Amino acid sequence: MVTLAAPAKSDRRRPPPPGTGPADRAVARPGLGWALPATLFFALFAIVPLLLVAVLSFASWGGIGAPEFVGLDNWVTLLHDPVMIKSLWLSVLLTALGVVTQTPLSILLGVWAAGPQRNRAVLSAIFFVPLLLSATAVSVLWRALLDPNFGVPAQARWLFGDGNLLGSRTGAIAVLVLVGTWQFTPLHTLIYQGATRAIPEVLYQAAAIDGAGTVRQFFHITLPQLRNSVITSVILMVVGGLTTFDTVLILTQGGPGTETTISAFYMYQKAFKSFDFGAGAAIALLLVIVATMISLIVVRLSGYDRMASPKEGL
Amino acid sequence: MTGAYARRHRPAPRRHRPNYLAALGALLWLCLVALPLYVMLGASLRTRPDYSTGGPLSFPEHLTLANYVRDFSSGFGRYFLNTMIVTTSVVVIVLVLVPPLAFSIVRGRGPATGRVFRLFLLGLAVPAQAVIVPMFYVISTAGLYDNLLGVILPTAAFCLPVCALILTGTMRDITDELFEAMAIDGATTRRVFFQLVLPLSRGGVATIVVFSSLQAWNGFLFPLVLTQSEETKVLTLGLYNFQTQYGIDIPALLAAVVLSALPVLLVYLFARRALVQGLMGVGGK
């Protein structure tokens, strides 16, 4: 790393005035030199690629040689590609199903985990384990679990029938939603647990004096107070859901047919299997745009942008 | 996000009677969470014939470590080492780059500082999937394709926004009086950084170490696209290949899954607080 010496540079620019003058009374302020190494590094490996993705989406590139400018070709082809249109809808559908299953579940678990029960610490510790595994490990584990010949379906025929859950569109989508829920509910539970702990106790005391029971307290105090966390958590689910990749690659390979080929996976196939990097870049850009738009809509609808202090935000 | 956990010891909202319905729900969820984990551990500790005849849910007849030994000798030792190299390097890069950055953002003056911070906040919204195509272009142009360095650099770069956010949060809690006291002593910027800011941000530094090592350890997309040979294979990629090639040998496969997660699980056992805060960092991503 060549850039490592940079912090020292700002010190050379402001030599320590040894003992004399008013300068040593002033609070020492770091110059921009301190931020420079990290900023350059980040620009090179994140901002430049982000700009390049836009450039490449107007180019034809097969992986070797120089990219060739082709104008709107990639975009026109994509917009006429039925698999592409389907993959976008599928990404949105999977994301929506994820939000709908994970949100109520993680709110309930989070509120429960914030409580004072004695068994809470032990159970919470177990609940978090799926979050520790990589998405790869989780997908490999579930694929083994759901194996029609050697997995759980083979042992519980009365429940699963022929057991080939990944063989039908509905089954494959259900499995993807289930695995996503299994893996990410702990994260959102954590968000809600922290937020529930931060609700002022005095609100519950007031409600109790007014005679409100546990259920009414939950709906009239806890839920409204968790509003900001819901927004944070839903935005995380939207961005995470639209970019789901590992799970699809390992569990379904986009199949049966193209029934679970969501956009992020289609991008990978186009770029790294068909070596059509221009099309891959266009899909990637489309995904970023859709994710940003949905996040903005969530923020707008919830009025989050008009709040003075987004206390619960991450 | 660290604040919520600092408040851990304050009394939680008190309920008048135990909520049996909630306890039942928690128990149901426990089954769903624990069942796959039980199958994973159980299967990894038994022979293949035992697994095939008994099925995943039955109790192992006798336990064996043979699956682990076989995995380790069939390449997972190498993958383990590669993942260790990637993780250590990513953590080192993050530790060298982020504290000075956060210090500059929190204590620096002028509009440029704000602009730098906004750049990193913008980076929070960019998923790795979005840049993987140009990243392949950048890395192969730089001659780093199929080189661990080509995985390390982008992985570290994508850790920076969350780490910057976490550490600026911690550094903002250092009071102005302390800085003024050091100014009266005539301390240089560098001394303020090493003797005041760094020691007082230990909590935040621990969190970014956990966050970036988790990102590096569990990373899949960058290695998948940017490496290809056996010499540069990391654990996640090894798991994926194992699954596509020998997917029928479920006990060995699940032993490999356990193996890949073992260090993280050990850290979880011994340093749960730091790990959970690091995981909240993952949420910021």
Instruction: Pick the closest to residue A272 from A242, A256, A239, A249 (CA basis).
Output: A249
- Tell me whether residue A227 is in a domain: yes
Question: Number of folded domains in chain A?
Answer: 1
DSSP B54: H
Residue contact A272–B225, C-beta within 8 A: yes
Min mean pLDDT across A196-205, A298-307, B185-194, B258-267 is at: A298-307
* Among the partner residues A61, A108, A191, nearest to B25 by beta-carbon distance: A108
Condensed to tens digits (0 to 9), the pLDDT of residues B255-277 reads 999 999 999 888 888 877 777 77
d(CA B156, CA B89): 8
Give chain B positions within 8 Å (CB) of A195: 4
Q: Where are the domains of chain B?
A: 83-238+267-284
Q: How many residues does chain B have?
A: 285
Residues 113 to 172 of B: which have CB under 8 A from any A CB?
113, 116, 119-120, 123, 125-138, 140, 153-154, 156-158, 160-161, 164
In this complex, which of B5, B23, B183 lies closest to A194 when CB atoms are compared? B5
Instruction: Assign residue A173 the CATH number of its domain.
Output: 1.10.3720.10
Nearest CA in chain B to A27: B183
Q: Which of residues 118-137 of A touch B (CB under 8 A)?
A: 119, 123, 125-137
* Domain membership of residue A227 as a residue range: 84-277+297-306
Give a yes or no: residue A73 inside a domain.
no
Window from A143-157, A188-202, B14-28 with minimum mean pLDDT:
B14-28
Q: What's the token pair of residue A181?
A: 């829920």
Burial class (CB in 10 A: 0-12, 13-18, 19+), A19: exposed
Report pLDDT digits (tens) over B127-154.
888 889 989 988 988 899 999 999 999 9
Whether the CB-CB separation of A158 and B61 falls below 8 Å is answered with no
Q: 230-249 in A: which are within 8 Å (CB) of B?
A: 236, 239, 243, 245-246, 249
Which positions in chain B touch A41 (Cβ < 8 Å)?
93, 97, 156-157, 160
Chain A residues 160-179 with CB within 8 Å of chain B: none
Classify residue A313: in a domain, yes or no.
no
Residue B212 binned pLDDT confidence (cut-offs 50, 70, 90):
very high
Q: A59: which strand partners?
A: A69
With contacts defined as CB-CB under 8 Å, which chain A residues touch B157?
41-42, 44-46
Look at domain B83-238+267-284 and name its CATH class.
Answer: mainly alpha
pLDDT value of position B1: 40
- B101–A17: do the CB atoms touch at under 8 Å? no
Evaluate whether residue A12 is within a structural domain.
no
Give pLDDT tens digits for A248-276: 999 998 878 888 899 999 999 988 988 88
| Cis-peptide, bond into residue A130, ω within 30° of zero | no
What length does chain A have?
A: 314
Residue A60 in domain = no
- Beta-strand relationship, A59-60 and A68-69: antiparallel
Interchain pair B11, A116: CB under 8 A: yes
The Cα B165–Cα B141 span in angstroms is: 31
**Assigned domain for A37 exists:** no
Q: Which two tokens stand for residue B31?
A: 């089954």
Q: Evaluate whether residue A32 is within a structural domain.
A: no
How many pairs of residues across A and B have Cβ atoms under 8 Å apart?
347
Dihedral sign of CA atoms A100, B264, A120, B273 in order: negative
pLDDT higher than threshold 80 for residue A3: no
**Identity at B125, one-letter amino acid code:** A
Residues on chain A touching B107 (C-beta within 8 angstroms): 29-30
Residue A236 resides in a domain: yes
